[in-house]
Amino acid sequence: MDNSEKEKIRLRAKGYRKEEIQVIRATPVEDVFNPSQHLRVAAYCRVSTDSDEQVTSYELQKNYYEELIAKHDNWELVGIYADEGISGTSLNHRVSFARMIEDAKAGKIDLIMTKSISRFARNVVDCITIIRELKGLNPPVRIFFETENIDTGKSDSEVMLNLLAIFAQEESHTKSEIMTWSIHQRFASGNFITPRLFGYQIDRDKPDRYIIVEEEAKVIRLVYAMYVVGYRYKEIADKLSSLGFVSNIKGECKWNEAVVRNIIDNERRCGKIIAWKTFTPSYLDHKVKKNNGNRDQFVLDNHHDHIVPQEVYDYILKIKRMQKITRFRGAIPSLAVVKEGALKGFVLVNLRYPGFNYDNYLFASKYLDEQGISKERKAILKKSDVSDFDLQGYEKADSRLFQHRYASTISFKDNKLYFNKTAIERLDSNQYIEILFEPKERLLAVKKSSKDSPYAFKVVDKEERSVAVNCSGFMLTLNEIMKWNDKFQYYLIGTKRGSGDETIILFDLDAALPVAKRKIDKGDTYDRVSINLLDEYYAYHYGKNIYEDAYSMRLYLLDLFKSWNVDLLEVPNEASKYTEWAKGIIENHLSAKAEGGQTNG
């Protein structure tokens, strides 16, 4: 920039004909307490808790503002907007506050009186945003904070407001931290919060405070019992509602799925306390979240008298965890084993239940012998059992080495059990089938079943090439003992045996054929082909030694027995004692209620 340009800038800065300019002065902002014009005034007051002391403060604030506004001739009372028992760090749930702001926007208010910034809002963002929003209205709405003597209608108010709003927010933060520490110390010393709970009454002089209300406790036990035997939430709610059972401390009969779930999930019904299951991460929005290790939790067993034994509650937790993982619904099933005959030691399989592992099936299979119910059958075939010739050293040809177009096959893939059309037809059933498992010999048997069997599953469509059944639970056991690779589909070729009206197809798990799917490119399209995979053993062998083959032995026994005894023996397991407990309660309560009588326990 040259000197001439600089000189021009200096001349413009000195002004032009300043002495002739007339100034029209701005109307000064009137003091709120000495207005020359009529003002429509509202007052806002708030207390953060609903204690007796705060209620008194709340009423005093209302009376104060009514008297203050009445003293000024030019003031007209629009209303006292008050929120009781509400925090100031969030606008959520502050119904009166929100209504006041809407009235201000609608042009019904000129001035809002409030005690202090902390009463108005402890959240800096909310406070400043609302103040600016009201100032931007036409005409603007002013707010007067009495403690700080700040009038938002004046131009010098905003800097001070920003500072004081920050202090108010930090005060809330400090109080929140103190409250968190106080709660921590309270729980750590065993001083738990014990509100009135359906099933319990409160005795403030009792150390644990809870006293069982027996009439309500009977309903609690019934809810737990129905869940243990397999009722779902909705089924429990519908049943108890139809019979008129009370559902809450008010004596109402209002049942739904949420009510049932809340009863079952609350550990206090078993005498246990878990404190700090939820927490509030932010003092600004007060949103409650589940405590997943974010805060210390405090657990005390046997804190008070239980309505339901803690072992029953723990058992239900196990059911719920299992259901969450596998989507299995219902009670934990029992294990049942064939007592004697050609299928002695075979255990019935619930295909979808994931809770039984290999050891459970093995225990059930051996249970007969441990109880002395029948004698142990020899495990190895003799020469004279199957032939007049000595076949020692000979191998029984493995079925996987041959193509079986019309063979009965099942296969496992992606938690599904597939039956081919031949297998379904040979069972001569389009209704119900069940699976039996021999864990020591690793054999499967498939047979027809009745609709009433808890182990039965339905197959209906024989026109398709295969029928798929969900076996997500049993697949866990198979993967455990067979070490199968989930990339493959495993095929088993079965052998049919019949006796009278009974038909069984026997399968050898050790002879499962892994099959991989491959894509063969053909230009614009591709073919999907199956590739059979066998281990190196079959490069030098045709199969197993004939006298050591459990599969052959079982087939021989199926041929030997004129009739098959498939009577079952239920094997005690974890579920048994809880099921018996539950059935007793259900029978007592539901039958008595239906008949209009009294129940016990």
- Measured distance CA(259)–CA(255) in Å, rounded: 6
Could you give the residue range(s) of every CATH 3.90.1750 domain in the chain?
Answer: 200-326
Q: Is 376 exposed, middle or buried (0-12, 13-18, 19+ CB in 10 A)?
A: exposed
Q: Reply yes or no on whether the pLDDT at 38 is more than 80.
A: yes
Spatial separation of the C-alpha atoms in residues 510 and 442, rounded to whole Å: 7
Partners of 556 in the beta sheet? none
Place of tokens 């979240």: 289
Contacts of 483 (CB under 8 A, 6+ apart): none
Lowest mean pLDDT among 213-227, 403-417, 571-585: 571-585
In CATH terms, the fold of domain 39-173 is: Rossmann fold (3.40.50)
CA dihedral of residues 389, 394, 400, 401 (deg, nearest 10): -110
Among 345-349, 463-467, 578-582, the range scoring the smallest mean pLDDT is: 463-467
Rounded mean pLDDT, 8-25: 73
C-alpha to C-alpha distance for 269 and 278, rounded to whole angstroms = 18
183 pLDDT exceeds 80?
A: no
pTM: 0.53
* 3-state DSSP percent of the chain in helix, strand and coil, to 5: 40, 20, 40
Residues of the chain with CATH 3.40.50.1390: 39-173
Query: Each residue of 232-246: pLDDT tens digit?
Result: 899 999 999 988 899
Question: What pLDDT, in 10s, does the model give residues 117-175?
Answer: 777 875 666 777 888 889 889 889 999 988 888 888 887 677 776 676 666 666 666 77
Quote the crossing angle between the two packed helices 310-326 and 214-228, to the nearest 10°. 40
pLDDT tens by residue, 275-322: 776 656 555 555 767 767 677 777 788 888 899 998 888 888 887 877
> How many angstroms separate the CA atoms of 140 and 135, rounded?
5
- pLDDT value at 372 more than 70: no
- Helix or strand (DSSP H, E) at 222: helix 214-228
- The span from the CA of 226 to the CA of 241, in Å, is 14
CATH number for the domain formed by residue range(s) 200-326: 3.90.1750
